[in-house]
Amino acid sequence: MKQKILLIILSFLLFSAVPAHAYWIWTPKTNKWVNPKTMVKPTPKEQFEFAMSFYDGKKYEDAKREFKKLIKAYSKSFEASESQYYLGRTEEAIGNLYEAFLAYQKVVDKYPFSERIQEINEREYKIAEIFMSGEKRKAMGVPLPVENPSIEIFTKVIENSTYGPLAPKAQYKLGLVLKSLMRFYEAEDAFNKVVSNYPTSEWVEAAKFQIAACRAAVSRSPDYDQGSAQEAKQKFEEFVKEHPDAVLSREAEKNIDQLKEKEAESYYNIARFYEKRGKVPAAKVYYQDIINNYSNSAWAAKAIERMRILEKKK
């Protein structure tokens, strides 16, 4: 009798300790109290269909819970790989793009023989493009101050299918993102991989232009890098020579003119440095070089004027 009373009291305490919306049942098979919400269906097929009923009804949080239960209980089943894929779809449907990417990538990592791989790569690529266009990674709806997720995602797209149809484009877009973040050396490396790994790709021409643009950007930094400027000019000149009719060639020619102007300015400053220290012959060499090789620049007129002044001082 006492045991029955104790059991009733314990049962009361158990039910009163849980939220009002939860409930528990006694299962003779396990000899335990269980919450039906944590129970999994007898087969992965039944569990998957149950989860899909929530997904189709756009009850995404319920769907996520049921997909996760299936993956945990039947991790090696075909339905587990499908559930992992649909976890990505649910995250994408509710706007959690980075979480969607992570869920999709788990399919690639855990179920590499899934028939969904190509579709997943396409979905990851589209998510990367959204982040590239300015979308911020969020947590609880709040933007996070983190690195542009498109870098990680484009990299994974390339790794997932190194020589697949999306790889050259993803490699090029990766370079653009790095360039936009002023990580010019990393961007140049990304563009070089487009040229070396995908030589027949339609993105090679644009990648070559961007390589030169990265070199030019480095040369325009506060600490002027003459070597980078010369390399950039050479690469732009090579681009124009190889693609004379390309739309980017006109942009390349503008960059060449700008680099020549910067180069002429650098030589003029060197000449003035020598002149102020009384090393007139050395100064004249640089002034004359500007006059001979940069005649269309604004610095040519200044060099001519300095040469006249030096001649009068003889």
CB distance 214 to 205 below 8 Å:
no
pLDDT digits (tens, 9 = 90+) for 23-38: 566 556 556 655 666 7
pTM above 0.75, yes or no: no
**How confident is the model at residue 267, as a pLDDT?**
78
Tokens of 180: 């936009």
Distance spanning both ends of the chain, measured CA to CA: 125
Confidence of residue 18 (pLDDT cuts 50, 70, 90): very low
d(CA 302, CA 200): 47
**How confident is the model at residue 68, as a pLDDT?**
97
d(CA 299, CA 263): 10
pLDDT digits (tens, 9 = 90+) for 135-161: 998 887 788 888 899 999 999 999 999
Return mean pLDDT, the chain: 84
H-state helical runs in the chain: 2-17, 44-56, 60-73, 78-93, 97-110, 117-132, 149-160, 167-180, 184-197, 204-219, 226-242, 247-276, 280-293, 298-312
**The dihedral sign for the CA sequence 275, 276, 278, 282:** negative
Q: Which helix (H) or strand (E) holds 33?
A: strand 32-34
Q: Which helix (H) or strand (E) holds 138?
A: strand 138-139
Confidence of residue 104 (pLDDT cuts 50, 70, 90): very high
Helix (H, G, I), strand (E, B) or coil at 142: strand
- By residue count, the chain amounts to 314
pLDDT at 263 over 80: no
**How confident is the model at residue 131, as a pLDDT?**
96
Strand partners, 26: 33
Checking DSSP bridges between strand 142-143 and strand 138-139, what pairing results, if any? antiparallel
